Structure 1
Amino acid sequence: MKLFPITGFSFLFTIVFFYLLGNSYPTASGIQKVWAFSKAAHAGMVPDPRFPWNPDENLNGYKFENSYYTIHSSNGIALDDTRKIEYPLNTKGYLEYKKIGAEVNFYSPSGEILWTKEYRSYPRISASANLVLLIAGDHNQVLLSDINGNSTGIGKLDGRFLTDYWFASDSKITGVLFSGGELFVLDSIGAVKIKKDLGTEKNPVFAKSISLSPDGRKTAIHLLSANKDRILILDENGDEFSSYELDSIHPHKLYFAVSNTGEVLVSASDRMTFYSDSGKKLLESKRTSGIGVYQTAFHNGSWFVAELNQEILFLDETGRILKKEKIKGSDLPVRFFPSGKTGSVVLESGKELFLFRNL
């Protein structure tokens, strides 16, 4: 009869010891692949019922074998050297333009034309379609439009050759960077939050790449200054948050991501490097496969994700690897983009789409 009291006491002691005395580590958070979609079959898994996410509502579509498809249709729209399509990742509809043309058209998911505007520009649209960047052919001017094709915000941005732009993953903030150092950070309707010239006549810069934190409050710029490649991070007011030199000069766009707290993951052609918010190198791994300028790095507001040596790596803000996921070399390159839900990300390869989320 004494067995039950002893068993109960042992169980209670174990719980108290583990959670109050014996466990000095935070509860581990897991990341799980919960959905997959085959572009060739134009079909995907039923979404995980434990996670309130519907791809038909949260994803627009994809490109496969020179055609554009909406996520719920197997009837593609053929693309060629003259006909181009740009689409918001998390909103329905798509933009059509020509490589050398004088107008931009916007269509509904069913293919109904909603508007036509006379723009001699290349459109780039944010994931939520709150802002369209219309890039001039000489890359020295960007016009700002809303989803209805109307001028919005400041209207236009001028600079010395556009080199990069970035749409924040968890907010409607946009960054636009010109090579001469002209930087613009815009709010949801294209009004200016930060306007800054990163170079001067005495200290010119060559600005190459930009990344925004998911919440849009940190702006990270990769630039050449005084014959050194640097990462410069600005806060939400445009003041310097941190600045540090890179080990080598990258004469091209650098793919990197910055967190809400200022950590940076750089995915270069020869290595992947993780920096603390003060620029201290916390992790570095050499790239042995997939050598090339285009790499991928992303932060969804919860963790970093990048590809290295045919593995998808998920990292926290200390550079600790949370999860590794094998990927075939034939599926590379890949990209990551917002799923429309926090704590998750969509991975897109040439053949498939996947959703990863927090457990």
Structure 2
Amino acid sequence: MNLILGDGEVSSSELLQAQELVFNCSLSFIKPMSLKCAIDLGIPDIIHNHGQPITLSNLISSLPIHPSKAHFIHRLMRILVHFGFFSTQPQEEKKEEETYSLTLASRLLLKDSPFRATPFCLIPLNPLFLTPWHFLSTWLQKGDDDPTPFEMVNGMNFWDGVGNDPMAKCMFTEAMTSDSHLMSKVIVEEGKEVFQGLSSLVDVGGGAGIMAKAIANAFTNIKCTVLDLPYIVADLKGTHNLNFVEGDMFKKVPTANAVLLKWILHDWSDEEAVIILKNCREAIWSKDKGGKVIVIDMIIDESPKLESKSAETQLYFDMVMMINVTGRERNRKEWENLFLVAGFSHYKITTIEGQGLRSIIEVYP
């Protein structure tokens, strides 16, 4: 049976598929909210501390829930298994009761995990970050008074908003720390050739120095410097090949063999990114002496068949940039334009193995 819709006929099957897409989109908030519930109840740590796959009844008995709500836990776990946060299998002795195990994703939610990703789950649900999304259409209809929906709603830019909210500041700092722990391990293992031959490196916006410490430990011949704002690095102590410098990347970057920009440039508009890149170009050694800027960031693939999970996540992040800051996630051509305008001659892209989200871009003067 065909139905008339718009300018042509569509089958009832096509119409139902379209409706399913709308349903899935409208209900997509259930994934983060269900995961938040599991985190709040401590389910990943309960399973981990159990030391083996845990039955539903044992899980329920370990949860801080009211007995009258116990029968709802199966439904919560069922959808989280579907999303891939937990795995399940029948128990050998009691076929009627399943057991639950952690997946790699839920291991990233453990309290003692060095790569703890819990803040990334909770940040989008914080009212400071969530409320601006409700006013995206309002912002798009207004003039240039407010550069972002975040600033329109909160009356201050993203960085001041985070800095003035203790809970948001704690979550954001922990999220960046967690990512740096993971990326430092990946970069040191997968991108060794990027750092070979370097004698000095400045990690711009390097925070507590997690990336710089990992590089300094893995390549002891490299003297690493972390550049960040005074309130971030003022009390941090360095080592024989690692030191912390107070400064502003929009004004000056310390001289070095190479400069590292990990997940920095996507926060800023093209004009702001060019200023940062020009300061980095002035700081690094000349081309014949091995000077370069190392950018770790996303490169959006805008091919017609944009179907991979990595591509979807990249587009999510691009919207996050639009809502909160003046930056954006860029495709290859947009990165190239930035580098050329900033005065660089060429670049080299290395895809991080096993992760399609971010790449390493070596940019040369």
Same fold (TM over 0.5): no
TM (normalized to structure 2)?
0.23
More strand by share: 1
TM (normalized to structure 1)?
0.24
